[in-house]
Structure 1
Amino acid sequence: MFGLTALELARIQFGFTVSFHIIFPAITIGLASYLAVLEGLWLWRHEAVYRDLYHFWSNIFAVNFAMGVVSGLVMAYQFGTNWSYFSSFAGSVTGPLLTYEVLTAFFLEAGFLGVMLFGWNKVGPGLHFFATIMVAFGTLISATWILASNSWMQTPQGFEVVNGRVVPVDWLKVIFNPSFPYRLVHMTIAAYLTTALFVAAAAAWHLLRGNATTAVHTMLSMAMWMVLVVAPIQILVGDQHGLNTLEHQPAKIAAIEGHWQNTPGESVPLILFGLPDMAAETTRYALEIPSLGSLILTHNINGQIPGLKEFAPGDRPNSAIVFWTFRLMVGLGLLMLLLGLWSLYLRWRGGLYHSRTFLRFATLMGPSGLIAILAGWLTTEIGRQPWVVYGVMRTKDAVSNHSALALSTTLIMFVIMYCAVFGTGVSYMLKLVAKGPQPFDEYPPHDNAQSQRPARPLSAAPDSIDSATADGQKDA
């Protein structure tokens, strides 16, 4: 297919499935916490707007959660089908970590999800709020185990290689590997930012169409506070994550910066734009800011970082890709910060809900969180190449023995099926968003008393045999 090798097709296939999957858990993590906040505010203030928003977003959460589960199952199977040698080599580490995710997070979410989605009138408010919190907590636990596994592949420790296989010797070091804390915080904040931008875009879209209800105003206000607070925190966390990556994966940083070699006694410039050329070992048409690279990357105006030429050609990540995916992520992050600061100015001037220019910008920024996550994920994963477990196992040694024809066929099938299935799901989710929040009737009327669902299983039965007999004679 297009002259690609089996290894390249396997990587594209896994990249395609994981890219589809990651957008759903990101929204799930953010929406679950948002729902917990909304229900908490409802119980505290008893203002109907929070109850209405809870039920509006819980429907969207349910659709998104289902798509996340399905896409995750497909991705998990690929470890055994397309990357069997990796599973054989490192399965003693990645297998238990994914099992812990199922036993803790997935079971917790599954246990309380039904109560959260269907138990509003069937359990007490305290229990329902507890169920919502448990679902939100479960999404965070899930992210913890998944990122522990992936971070170990980035910065492996706590293991030995015995007879050609990884053997864990210290699980605390395996889990709390050097990059794990930074990646967990960075991804969690990204999920919250993504959700806030999604909620803000929905509110802005409705305001542009004249649907200026209290619920829509509340959606926009809460989302903009979140963006304002979290966007600068994400920038600071990203900076610390970058320092950690420079320490443990210097080749990745060199590729991201398009930096090839150092000049003795000179600081590193920041290349804003350019075209990295892997064959010529240079970055063409570079637009540089002198010394700023050293200041950002090392926090020292005279600091230097390793250049790509210091690494063997076979150990260099593809700078032509990660150079631009990183800048796309950073550029969107700066736009998010601008959106938050603009919202603060408009809030101060009393025009947050009326500036059509701002509302259009907020609407356009709706998918920016998801795009930034995908760009960051590509930067992380492509920047790790040519290693699947950094410094331990190369990607070419991890792929299964499939032909290019087989991988081409399955890749085409994945693209068609994913676009059909998840395209339908996303379309339905957007239709729910377009409908907008509606007043929620806490106790909807019923034409027939017997059509009501009982709050307790035994309450469906009559209080006595005599009453049941009387009802039967009445029906006759």
Structure 2
Amino acid sequence: MDSFLGLDATILARIQFGFTVSFHFIFPAISIGLASYLAVLNALYLWKRDATYLRLFNFWVKIFAISFAMGVVSGIVMSYQFGTNWSGFSDKAGPVVGPLMAYEVLTAFFLEAGFLGIMLFGRRKVGPGLHMLATLMVAVGTAISATWILSVNSWMQTPQGFGMNEAGQFIPEDWWAIVFTPSFPYRLAHTLTAAYLTTAFIVGGTGAWHLLRGHGHNPGVRTMFSMAMWMIVVTAPLQVMVGHEHGLNTLEHQPVKIAAMEGHFESHPDGAPLILLGLPDQAAGEMRYEISIPHLSSVIFGLGWNGAMEGLDVVPDAEEPPVAVIFWSFRVMVGLGFLMVGAGLWGLWARWRGALYATPMLWRAMVAMGPSGLVAVIAGWITTEVGRQPYVVYGQLRTADAVSPLGASAVGWSLIAFVVIYFTVFGAGVVYLLRLMSKPPELNEREGPDEGPIRTAGLTPHQMVEDGQAGDGQAETGRGAPRPAE
């Protein structure tokens, strides 16, 4: 068999797609959450006329624009792989997947692209009402985009509503069933909540960074940190609950994935233990050095103390996914999830004591956990996608039958090229984003790259606040003086 560094073409194609999708989803996870955050900031500014919210809008809108652009570019690269590396999948699943992807472009991408320019550059050109509408439409567009993409993915995980023709292609028979599969609502809720939680930790980590750098006098810094901690204390526990419901749905429709996630090589007719840690040995079919709590897995999945759970021993070896990858990625995701809940509760405790802006240990923890949402999102995608193996359409189309007839060396060298180019280009983009975040928000920032500095000459402090142009001292003297949300 043709191989490249000991790996065949199918494994290399999977690694390449996994690498590019992991890089790609970092940016939509940020842009989905930031789009809604910007809509909230803009609405608060128009409602309260508090220049602090305009300051934060101008600060984060540049970060959103760059993240959005990098997400679009990396997504285009992924779409080409359907033709280059996964022509079997495109041929067989194209009649179902193709229209859903087209709906995403026609509804979500056109909506985002149509209003993005107004949102970025139009505040002084179209008036506050239309600018607010444009900001809302961009936020709605990002959510619609995620909805269609997750509909595609959910159909691949829990396929229904199709028939097969003589050529072995999936033929749509019921579009409602295809779009609204059994796993779709859980996957959509879990992913959108993850995007909002990811954004909250990025915003909170940025605010904490500036607090540690002595910028606590800046009302924009205080407000962004406070808003992020409120968001975390709400969404982190919500995400745990949504994830639990998603797990119950997965047990019903993909029990093999759950067995791998839980590390259950053997069936447990009298109650399955919750394996906290261990070293999966798939060849031997056992968990080495296991640390577990008896019966707790059955209890968590609502089966009762002695509820039976099947293990991988009831599945042919060829049908098993890679257990070690799923076992550890799942624990990374869950572990970070509980740390997020802890961070939210810590922030709530500090707020109750009136010490939200006087707890450096909390700030350091938030800086450290700033990228935790991104890590958890990638770990979650690894869990759900690798857990689907050896199928690309669960139970219907095997991954080996979906890959293009390419030589391993061709896929291997293109993978190396992807790694070099992605780390160079997108790495530079990430460095630039971090540089933008490292500067505290200021009221005299530009609204967009086509505009000069905001005009202040000849304006009274009151007028500058109303126009969103005052600095710290000026804003505090105007009617719209910043009042950080604490």
Question: Normalising TM by the smaller chain, what interval?
Answer: over 0.9
Contact 1:85 1:400 in 2 (8 A): yes
Q: Secondary structure at the match of 1:369?
A: helix
Q: Does 1:90 align with 2:93?
A: yes
Q: Does 1:207 align with 2:217?
A: no
Q: Letter of the aligned partner of 1:38 in structure 2?
A: L
Q: Secondary structure at the match of 2:387?
A: helix
Offset of residue 2 of structure 1: 2.3
Q: Does 1:56 align with 2:34?
A: no
Q: Letter of the aligned partner of 1:445 in structure 2?
A: R
Q: Does 1:220 align with 2:230?
A: no
Which residue of 1 is the match for residue 292 of structure 2? 288
Q: Letter of the aligned partner of 1:102 in structure 2?
A: V
Contact 1:51 1:440 in 2 (8 A): no
Alignment match of 2:180 (pick from 176, 186, 193): 176
Q: Does 1:382 align with 2:392?
A: no
Q: Secondary structure at the match of 1:273?
A: strand
Alignment match of 1:150 (pick from 150, 153, 156): 153
Contact 2:271 2:309 in 1 (8 A): no
Distance 1:61 1:276 in 2: 40
Contact 2:267 2:312 in 1 (8 A): no
Contact 2:119 2:135 in 1 (8 A): yes
Query: What is the TM-score normalised by the length of structure 1?
Result: 0.92
Q: Letter of the aligned partner of 2:90 in structure 1?
A: S
Offset of residue 440 of structure 1: 3.6
Which residue of 2 is the match for residue 247 of structure 1? 252
Q: For residues 11-410 of structure 1, what are the structure 2 equivalents within 5 Å?
A: 11-163=14-166, 164-212=168-216, 213-264=218-269, 266-410=270-414
Offset of residue 446 of structure 1: 9.5
Which residue of 2 is the match for residue 455 of structure 1? none
Distance 1:299 1:75 in 2: 40
Q: For residues 406-417 of structure 1, what are the structure 2 equivalents within 5 Å?
A: 406-417=410-421
Q: Letter of the aligned partner of 1:230 in structure 2?
A: T
Distance 1:166 1:134 in 2: 34
Offset of residue 26 of structure 1: 0.4
Offset of residue 262 of structure 1: 2.6
Q: Write out the 4+ residue segments of structure 1 that deviate beyond 3 Å after TM superposition.
A: 440-443
Contact 1:55 1:440 in 2 (8 A): no
Instruction: Point out the structure with max Rg over C-alpha.
Output: 1
Which residue of 2 is the match for residue 460 of structure 1? none
Which residue of 2 is the match for residue 9 of structure 1? 12
Q: Letter of the aligned partner of 1:444 in structure 2?
A: I
Offset of residue 7 of structure 1: 0.6
CA spacing shift, 1:276–1:127, aligned 2, 3 Å: same
Distance 2:237 2:305 in 1: 23
Offset of residue 322 of structure 1: 0.4
Q: Letter of the aligned partner of 1:249 in structure 2?
A: Q
Which residue of 1 is the match for residue 464 of structure 2? none
Offset of residue 298 of structure 1: 2.9
Distance 1:96 1:194 in 2: 30
Q: Secondary structure at the match of 2:332?
A: helix
Q: Secondary structure at the match of 1:9?
A: helix
Distance 1:184 1:96 in 2: 19
Q: Any gaps of 5 or more consecutive residues in structure 2? A: 448-452, 458-486
Contact 1:153 1:390 in 2 (8 A): yes
Q: Letter of the aligned partner of 1:410 in structure 2?
A: S
Q: What percent identity do the matched residue pairs reach?
A: 60
Which residue of 2 is the match for residue 445 of structure 1? 455
Q: Letter of the aligned partner of 1:28 in structure 2?
A: S
User: How large is the Cα RMSD of the aligned pairs?
Assistant: 1.2
Greater length-normalized contact order (CA 8 Å, ≥ 6 residues apart): 2
